[in-house]
Amino acid sequence: MESVSAIFKESIYAPSRELTAKVAFEIIDPTASNDAVVVSSFAEAPISRLQQVLNKKRTMAFSYATFEPDYFILDGSMKIPPQYSYEGNDELGFWSNEISDENGIFVENPTVSFSLGEAHNTLGLTISFDIINNEYASDFTLQVIAKVGGILHIEEVVNNTSPVYTLLKNLDGVGSVDIIVTKWANGNRRARITEVDFGVIQEYTGTDLIRLNVIEEMDLVGSTVPSNEIQFTLDNQERLFNILNPDGIYRFILPKQEIRAYFGLKIGEGENDFEFVSIGKYYLTEWQTDEGSMTTTFTARDIFDRLETVEYSVSLTATSLYALAEDILTKADIHDYQIDSKLLGDNTNGFDASLNAREALQSIAIAGRAVIYQDRLGTVVIRRIEPIDFSTGYIVFPSPDTYVGLLTIPEVTNDYLFQAIDFENTFAEPQINLNEPISSLIFLVNDETENGTEYTFMNPTPNNGATYKIENPLINTSLQAERVANWMFAEYNMRGYYRANWRQNPALVCGDAIMVEDGFGQNKKARIIKQDFQFEGFLTGNTEAIGGV
């Protein structure tokens, strides 16, 4: 379950509620940052990391304590900055070595410049100064130079009052960009630029966002690696998305542009008293101007859709599933991931043939008895989901020290009691069916024999049912096969399938434990495997779950 306030948890099930939706659409050239070289003609502070201004991280990792007058707040909120030789991943961006005077004026204007290898067309530029501390340049100059033909545009910015500045302007054939800071908003400060984007981030909500549909899915036994999807429709009465409009933005829309979606629940009396919940990070795949050109519809999917086109080469070296997963993700240019450290204890001989990255990660998930998914923040997660303790209603979490990296396991609290889908929130009685039982699993173990060895494992619970055959190149011993078989039987034996059409709760995510009320007043315990959200001014949707009967 996503982290939300207590009032959200109460208000989402209230008889009367008000929700809104928001889409943040990055109309940014996804190739420009890789094509750009950034330099500074101004001396950098020892902690400055200039190259980070092109890594799409728009906020510093922390508020860093530096000896700038009236800046170091002694309330525990600030962190000592890393040393010059530090090799960690702290996000800092560009910091000037010189500190401005009390009026925010520098002896020499800090300048950051970008040179592009090829000409790029962009809808504008977005500069993120220091968002976390609300620090920014009040006066600065943007100079955009064409790859061929001289100056494209000069923007003299005066009295800026925001840590994020957006220049919304059609810029064709961009070859280089100069950002020249002439005055900082607060005196006695270093100039700081965290990120520069070649394009703009447009937010659509209210009457601009006609509808938003979301599909989320998780496969608990790895038979597929589902790709979550959103589809949203925007008002196009101004014809901004028409292909023939020379002043529109259609020609700046490109595949793989990032899209983030949110649902907001009103939790106060004020007009803007909404608490927003992230509904995921996606990459644009399709778009079309609808009949009559009054609306435009966009479709986007998560990272797994892209991984299907990424080839992973042959890997024959004996290693752990953890190291193999890390290698696949790194070579696929994915650096925001969490891998369960339990996979360090699972060894494998690797792949003996090339395959796409999505299939490779699927094989790891099965061999490691884990689920794989992209969380709401866009992080790829590979982890084992512990069994649900149906007697207490808690999800059983392992201790935090069994994990490494960014994966944080929360303490067991009331937040992890089963969330209820009851008749007060459903539009009809939930469907309850039994999935087909599984009687046996046949594994083709990829051992040292020429064609592998088959092992059959019988399900100790049902006496009849289907037989599935598993071929996974990463399962190299009979013991590995036995462990995977026991894991699969435990999941397949949860034969209860539940489907509820209800008001939906956007804080719930796949993998969460829920209770589904049936026609006999019983609450059936299950785990969410799929859900969809449908928003057109109000929120509804379907939740699918599996559990006991």
Q: What is the pLDDT of residues 331-387, one digit of tens each?
A: 999 989 999 999 999 999 999 889 999 999 999 999 999 999 999 999 999 999 876
- 446 and 381 in a single domain? The answer is no
- Cα–Cα dist 57/61, whole Å: 9
How high is the pLDDT of residue 74?
A: 67
Written in H, E and C, the secondary structure of 49-108 is CHHHHHCCCCCCCCEECCCCCCCCCCCCCEECCCCCCCCCCCCCCEEEEEECCCCCCCCC
23 part of a folded domain: no
Judge if 438 and 333 occupy the same domain.
no
Q: Is residue 13 in a domain? A: no
Q: What are phi and psi of 86, to 5 degrees?
A: -65, 135
Strands 380-383 and 337-339: parallel
Q: What is the pLDDT of residues 395-408, one digit of tens each?
A: 333 333 332 332 33
Q: State phi, psi for 16 to the nearest 5 degrees.
A: -120, 130
CATH number at residue 63: 2.60.120.260
Residue 264 belongs to a domain: no
Look up the domain containing 396 and give its range. Answer: 306-402
Q: What pLDDT shows up at residue 416?
A: 41
Query: Does pTM surpass 0.75?
Result: yes
Lowest-confidence region among 11-20, 97-106, 222-231, 456-465:
456-465
Is 295 strand, coil or helix? strand
What is residue 254's three-state secondary structure?
coil
List CB contacts of 521: < 8 A, sequence separation 6 or more: none
| pLDDT digit string, tens, across residues 505-518 | 999 999 988 888 87
- The verdict on residue 241 lying in a domain is no
**118 lies in a domain?**
yes
61, 182: one domain? yes
Mean per-residue pLDDT, 220-224: 91
- Cα–Cα dist 112/53, whole Å: 10
Of 37-41, 67-71, 287-291, 509-513, which gets the smallest average pLDDT?
67-71
* CA–CA separation, 517 and 103 (whole Å): 65
Contacts for 395-404 with beta carbons within 8 Å, 24 or more apart? 395/513, 398/342, 402/340, 402/341, 402/342, 403/338, 403/340, 403/341, 404/339, 404/341
Q: How far is 549 from 546, CA to CA, in rounded Å?
A: 9
137 shares a domain with 42: yes
What pLDDT sits at residue 239?
80
453 and 314 in a common domain: no
> Which 3 state secondary structure label does DSSP give 185?
coil
Shared-domain flag, residues 324 and 424? no
> Could you give the CA distance from residue 544 to residue 348 in angstroms, rounded to a whole number?
34
The pLDDT, as a whole number, for residue 483 is: 94
Residue 390: which pLDDT band, with cuts at 50, 70 and 90? low
- Domain end marker among 173, 197, 221: 197
User: In this structure, what token pair is assigned to residue 409?
Assistant: 């396991």
Helix (H) or strand (E) holding 485: helix 478-492
Taking residues 199-227, report their average pLDDT.
93
Identify whether residues 430 and 473 lie together within a single domain: yes
Residues 184 and 132 grouped into a single domain: yes
pLDDT at residue 408, as a whole number:
32
Whether residue 123 has pLDDT greater than 50: yes
∠185-189-193 over CA atoms, to 5°? Answer: 75
Best mean pLDDT range from 92-96, 152-156, 305-309: 152-156
Instruction: Point out the least confidently predicted range of 62-71, 233-242, 294-303.
Output: 62-71
- If 0-12 CB within 10 Å is exposed, 13-18 middle and 19+ buried, where does residue 93 land? buried
Residue 347 sits at φ, ψ, to 5 deg, of -95, 155
AA identity, residue 148: V
* Range scoring the smallest mean pLDDT among 203-207, 470-474, 481-485, 498-502: 203-207
Domain boundary among 197, 230, 264: 197
Q: How far is CA 384 from the centre of its chain?
A: 19
Mean residue pLDDT of the chain comes to 87
List the CATH number of the domain containing 365.
Answer: 3.55.50.30
Question: Cα-Cα-Cα-Cα dihedral of 501, 502, 506, 511, to 10°?
Answer: -50
Give yes or no: residues 181 and 322 share one domain.
Answer: no
39 with 187, same domain: the answer is: yes
Q: How many domains does the chain have?
A: 3
Q: What residues contact residue 8 under an 8 Å CB cut-off, 6+ apart?
A: 265, 267, 275, 277, 507
Asked if residue 191 and residue 46 are part of one domain, the reply reads: yes
Nearest to 538 by CA among 504, 499, 491, 487: 504
Residue 262 has pLDDT above 70, yes or no: yes
Q: How many residues does the chain have?
A: 549
What is the model's pLDDT at position 547? Answer: 87
State whether 174 and 323 are in the same domain: no
Rg of the chain on CA atoms, in Å: 26
Domain boundary among 166, 197, 228: 197
d(CA 284, CA 257) in angstroms, rounded, equals 5
pLDDT value, residue 471: 94
Residue tagged 């950051």 (tokens): 112
Residue 250's SS3 state is helix
Q: Please check whether residue 243 lies inside any domain of the structure.
A: no
d(CA 454, CA 441): 10
Q: Please check whether residue 450 lies inside any domain of the structure.
A: yes
Tokens at 470, concatenated: 């598993």
| Domain-located, residue 542 | yes
